[in-house]
Chains A and B, each alone.
Chain A
Amino acid sequence: GENVEQHPSTLSVQEGDSAVIKCTYSDSASNYFPWYKQELGKGPQLIIDIRSNVGEKKDQRIAVTLNKTAKHFSLHITETQPEDSAVYFCAVQSGFQKLVFGTGTRLLVSP
């Protein structure tokens, strides 16, 4: 089955810096790659996603890049703010309805 690795497990940055989180996957047939943000005591929130027919997608301060050849994709957050502090999960669609999640990255943005 699909195997998703996510790095780093924790990331501390200063407000205004950029943050990058990387994920690798194993199944070359996978074609949908969402990112979720989970704040304490809440459910995961879909923040951005990308499909295999594009290499990059941007939404304001958040961007995702995909390298299908290397089987890795990354989340980029620019101009980080304290409210960006949360746990971020990457995921890969495995089969029609199944998402396999990465292990999560705890992002801490210090003022």
Chain B
Amino acid sequence: DTEVTQTPKHLVMGMTNKKSLKCEQHMGHRAMYWYKQKAKKPPELMFVYSYEKLSINESVPSRFSPECPNSSLLNLHLHALQPEDSALYLCASSPGQGSHNEQFFGPGTRLTVL
């Protein structure tokens, strides 16, 4: 299996809702990432998990809460989001060993905050 899968594909939520995005990979990768991508912009790194531990947090607001239950799964918990948080949320994984940082992306979750 050489895919990164993400669910749901689309999500619409109100500013008071709590929702979660899910990501899964079965490539044996030990690093997993969350990116945010606004329209016509490049992906922006949010979080990195390495060997199931949070290794990078790019000063992301606390209304985004990542979780890595095991080496294959990555969640992003959302609470009290703002309309400006509407974006494509991308998950990626990489081997996480040595200098090999080939990152493989999932298809993304299109999030709309009303």
**Interface residues of A, Cβ cutoff 8 Å to B:** 31-32, 34, 36, 41-46, 49, 51, 89, 93, 96-99, 101-104
Contacts and interface: CB of A to CB of B under 8 A. Distances in A.
B90 A97 contact: no
B56 A103 contact: no
Contact of B102 (A49, A102, A103, A104): A49
Nearest to A106: B40
Given A42-B107, A43-B90, A104-B40, A97 B102 contact: no
B103 interface: yes
B94 A97 contact: yes
A55 to B, nearest CB: 18
Nearest to B103: A99
Interface in B52-81: 55-56
A43 B101 contact: no
A99 B104 contact: no
A45 B104 CA distance: 7
Given A32-B101, A46-B102, A104-B42, A97 B107 contact: no
A29 B31 CA distance: 22
